[in-house]
Amino acid sequence: MGNTHKPIRIALGSDHAGFELKEWLKTKLLEAGYECHDFGTDSNQSCDYPDFSFAVAQAVVSGQCDTGIVICGTGVGSSIAANKVRGARCALCWNEYTARMARSHNDANILALGARVIGMELAWEIVKVWLETPFSGEERHRRRLEKISALESSDAALQEAKTLC
């Protein structure tokens, strides 16, 4: 009997600083059998990372894609933009350990990478760990994720902040 599993659908997005790394990772992912959906950019011409990070996050949260990878110069801006989409849990990872913990403990659904901070080979190692690591499902981690979801679905965080001021 053949493999009936659908390939994991990965949303990819980068700004100009991450373009070369995104294209290289896309080739590696396709060679490894993943399905890639590229949300841009399509050149190294200067552009704005929020446009592409937001599109990737929307694709992941909507279910169009199973996971996402966003790339800019440091990964910081892309992760901030992606996390503006309700339900996005974008984690900036700089080594295999942070990728493993982001998936295992935080059930992160989008990976942010800094093209000017890490090399291509390290980025590929991070991506492989990211894709191979499942969420642990441990009660303490589920509880924390439920708290994050509650913060997203209400203005509880704003009300709490007002009482602290």
The whole-number pLDDT of residue 160 equals 64
Does domain 9-134 correspond to CATH entry 3.40.1400.10? Answer: yes
Which tens digits make up the pLDDT trace of 12-38? 999 999 999 999 999 999 999 999 999
The whole-number pLDDT of residue 157 equals 55
Q: What ranges do the domains of the chain cover?
A: 9-134, 137-165
pLDDT(4) > 50: no
Which one of the listed residues 16, 37, 47, 105 is annotated catalytic?
Answer: 105
Give the Å distances, CA to CA, from 63 to 11, 49, 56, 57, 87.
11, 22, 11, 10, 11
pTM of the complete model = 0.89
Which one of the listed residues 36, 65, 72, 93 is annotated catalytic?
Answer: 72
141 is annotated as an active-site residue: no
What is the rounded CA–CA span in Å between residue 132 and residue 98?
13
The whole-number pLDDT of residue 99 equals 98
5 is annotated as an active-site residue: no
